[in-house]
Chains A and B, each alone.
Chain A
Amino acid sequence: MTEVIKRLKAIVGDRFVSAEPEERYLYSMDQGTMPPAEPDMVVMPGSTEEVSEIMRLANEYQVPVVPMGGGLVLSGLTRALKGGMILDMKRMNRITEVNPKSRYAVVEGGTSQGMLQAYLKKHHPELKHSMPDAPPIATLAGNVCIHGSGHLSVLGGFHSDMLTGMEVVLPTGEIVRTGSCSVSADWFGKAPLPDLSGLFMGWSGTTGIVTRLGIKLFPNYRHNDLLIFVTEDPRDMPDVIARLTSTQVAEDMTPWMTPKPEWARGFMHINIAYGAHSKEELTFKRNLLQISVKDYIDNKSGGFLPMPPPQKGRFMQLPSPDLARFADVRKGGGFEYVGAIMAIEHFPEAYQAGVRIAEKHDVSYSMGARIVGAGHAMMFFYAYAFNRADPEDMARAQHALEETNSAALDMGGIPWKAELPAQQKIIEKMAPETFALMNRIRHTLDPNHIMNPGNWERA
């Protein structure tokens, strides 16, 4: 390892390589419940060329490589399960292009969501990108790689659907481009080419390192508003969601259900965010949304929650720190969630399963969903808070998470950004030919099997 470290320092500079116990300790774990796995070193590249050199070196010495952005995935995907090096990508945070007419931005692989948001606000206030509710230091690449979703997901689908192209360093060190940028100077989209970007998404950093990506931008409205629809019966939710999305007005729709505060217990809330260029347009859109669920209001099984502006403002904050604050519910700095991507008609059983599991394991929970596309799917989440200083509490949350993953799979859902045990469950359910194909592709891309090993492997 001494030789590897010496050569890594020659590539990225002495200051950006560490094999010291402090970094090895801290990078061995994330905020979730997965046990620590220590890397041998942490490396922070500054350019695509450096990443490429690092990969060639890693192949030469057969050292595992784990790419990491914000490290906020919560499900332990940036742990070095087989040792080796963690590549902390956040030094590569330049925004290299914004195309205001074709509405896309090109950013480096370690650019944070917050920095792109700030950049657009300053230089292109008429544009915005879809922010996840992850803390703002989370990276665009990390989020796209896991098929994340965010504040424009009703409009634009998963964040991976908003991807317009990538520059990737393959496990063997070659630098490739996918999408229009592989043919043209413009990064407008993936069509009409074979979509090679898919090779790098949903694989938990096992197939390559994203060093640049193009992401779609959307109009940033001057007038923005939020409605909250409330109903008591989870069985109504699929139809309510279908009606609201059919208006094609909302940018974001997030149902939420929580036992605390007391006034919220037992109710299904749906936050519906929408915007407009003028006040008249905003009123028109609000009317469309309200009319779509009028039947529920007329028969008194649902209604819109009146909300004072300060509370509304809090709900509309992007990202919302309230989500991170859930980690302090047990005064213990921890939470993790199962986010299951599933068909919307499973909403009622998904909700009931969540209540059952939380009660069984006596865990502090919060549930919710993000609607993706015009009602094409949802990411249904079950978040469990735990006290990091109490191993028993942490174990309870872990058991609840495991059971939730199984329940989601039984419903036909698929755990998102799956932890190692959940990956195993998915592999068990996956068509064997699909898994075999995944392995063939992976072997072709990564013949020495050095990319984030341990993930997406049969135990």
Chain B
Amino acid sequence: MKHEEILHRCFRCGYCKLPSNYTDINCPAYQAFRFETYSPGGRMWLLRAWLNNEISNSRRFSEIMFSCATCGNCVEQCAFPNFKDLLLEAFAAGKEAFLDAGQVPAPVRDYLTKVQLHGNPYGKPGKKRPEWAADLDIPVYSDQDHLFFVDDVGAFDTRGQEIARSVAKMLQQAGISFGIGSGEEVSDGNDVHEMGETPLFEELAGKNIEAFNQKGVQKIITLSPHSLHAIKNYYPALGGNYQTAHYTQILAFSLGSLKFQSNGNNQRITFHDPCYLGRRNWDYQSPRMLLKALPDVHVLEMDRNQKNAFCCGGGGGNFFTDLLSAEADSPGRVRVREAAQTGAEILAVACPLCAGMLEDAVKVESLEGRLQVREITEIMAEYL
């Protein structure tokens, strides 16, 4: 297994369970299940035990492995600089070994099968991908400055589509020149990659790279931070080199073109950092710049923010596979309770997956009257 040489170096000290300010448990899988086995150190020791034939690759073991939300808190907090950067790669290699051994949780298998068959986990034909934009006046990419790449959730999930439309309108408002895909593109493959399904990831990335290159795409704006991560960090090794940015980054640069007016609401807003924009790609400021540019808005921070942000539980494919659902201890529920504690009335998000996870959590926690989950451009639109 790749990176097996670091497994025994984990001291199981547990720095990785917490944020740097130690406020609360910050590994979503460990928060949900609480057994040491679900903590990052537990994963390291179990993988080593498996390679040493001390335990077998059971169904539960595979659930432990695939429940990792790939949020990167462990990489951020591990006390050991000499190998911490490899933790997530080791976990992905472990998952790959489980896939090779045919031992994966049923929801993971179903997710991967659908992506394999249809190019997306919704089982929809590719030509339906651009339908989210049907009622908008957006061109299919030809010679515009940017391709606006919308992930599976933005393309096929009802709420995701709303967010994609809102973002597209704001990009138009900011005068950004962009077009969208015409349906040849497929899933960005990020979560497939994080699940360790390397051949499928390469197939997906290959299709996208071919589609992008045929159209001469050079700059990409992504809706989802997950797409940002894959295209920016994994595609270059496969020959896909683009200038890639998340939509909040493009809008932060274009703030000068957006004129906001007070709407008298004096809203209290707290922002939930998406792991794949924040911890995995180190941008904590772009979304905050957008919120802080709005007149009379009070941006309140949760105890766990920026590099210490607590994941919504949707990463690593868990948005689709739901392996982290754990009653009151589910990461999304924990996170919306934390957001409500700040006194904010709006929980702002910048990722369609976070939106889905946290909106569900607000309902289950019966917080609807107190806390609304809104995507950032939806909030911005009210100030134009």
- Give the interface of A toward B (CB within 8 A): 15-16, 18, 20-23, 25-27, 30-31, 42, 44, 70-72, 88, 90-91, 112-115, 117-118, 121-122, 135-137, 321, 324-325, 327-328, 331-335, 387-389
Contact = CB atoms under 8 A, between A and B. Distances in A.
B326 A71 contact: no
A425 B373 CA distance: 61
Given A15-B326, A135-B14, A332-B8, A23 B23 contact: no
Contact of B9 (A30, A91, A321, A333): A333
A115 B35 contact: no
Interface in B4-54: 8-15, 17-18, 21-24, 33-37, 42, 45-46, 49, 54
B25 to A, nearest CB: 9
Nearest to B78: A321
A222 B34 CA distance: 36
A135 B35 CA distance: 18
Given A72-B14, A114-B18, A333-B11, A325 B79 contact: yes
Contact of A31 (B13, B37, B55, B83): B13
Contacts of A137: 13-15, 17-18
A22 B64 contact: yes
7 nearest interchain CB pairs? A114-B22, A137-B14, A327-B11, A321-B79, A389-B8, A135-B13, A118-B23
A31 B79 CA distance: 15
B24 A23 contact: no
Interface residues of B, number: 37
B35 A118 contact: no
A88 B58 contact: no
Contacts of A72: 13-14
A89 to B, nearest CB: 11
B79 A135 contact: yes
Given A21-B56, A137-B14, A324-B15, A115 B8 contact: no
Contacts, number: 111
B80 interface: yes
A334 B11 contact: yes
B37 A22 contact: yes
A115 B22 contact: yes
B157 interface: no
Contacts of B210: none
Nearest to B33: A15
B327 interface: yes
A325 B80 contact: yes
A136 B77 CA distance: 12
Nearest to A86: B36
Interface string B55-97: 1101011001000000000000001101100000000000000
B34 A328 contact: no
Contacts of A27: 36
A113 B13 CA distance: 13
B162 interface: no
Contacts of A333: 8-12
Contacts of B21: 118, 121
B345 to A, nearest CB: 22
A25 B9 contact: no
Nearest to A91: B34
A361 to B, nearest CB: 21
Contacts of A25: 46, 49, 54-55
A31 B10 CA distance: 9
A328 B80 contact: yes
B9 A331 contact: yes
B303 interface: yes
B9 A22 contact: no
Contact of A122 (B8, B49, B80, B303): B303
Contacts of A15: 33, 326-327
Interface string B322-357: 000011000000000000000000000000000000
Nearest to A44: B34
16 contacts: A15-B327, A20-B58, A20-B60, A21-B56, A23-B35, A23-B36, A25-B46, A26-B46, A27-B36, A72-B13, A72-B14, A115-B22, A325-B80, A328-B82, A332-B9, A389-B8
A112 B326 CA distance: 22
A128 B274 CA distance: 33
Nearest to A136: B22
A20 to B, nearest CB: 5
Contacts of A387: 8
A112 B39 CA distance: 16
Contacts of B34: 16, 44, 88, 90-91
The residue in A25, A26, A117 that gathers the most chain B C-beta atoms within 10 A of its C-beta is: A26
A247 B149 CA distance: 67
A21 B62 CA distance: 13
Contacts of B8: 332-333, 387-389
A324 B35 contact: no
A61 to B, nearest CB: 22
Contacts of B11: 31, 324, 327-328, 333-335
B20 to A, nearest CB: 10
A311 B55 CA distance: 43
Contact of A136 (B18, B54, B326): B18
A22 B49 CA distance: 10
A130 B4 CA distance: 38
Given A26-B46, A71-B36, A112-B22, 20 more contacts: A16-B34, A20-B58, A21-B55, A21-B56, A22-B46, A22-B58, A22-B60, A88-B34, A88-B36, A90-B34, A117-B22, A122-B23, A135-B13, A324-B15, A325-B79, A327-B80, A331-B82, A333-B9, A387-B8, A388-B9
Nearest to B59: A20
The residue in A30, A70, A114, A332 that gathers the most chain B C-beta atoms within 10 A of its C-beta is: A114
A16 B329 CA distance: 12
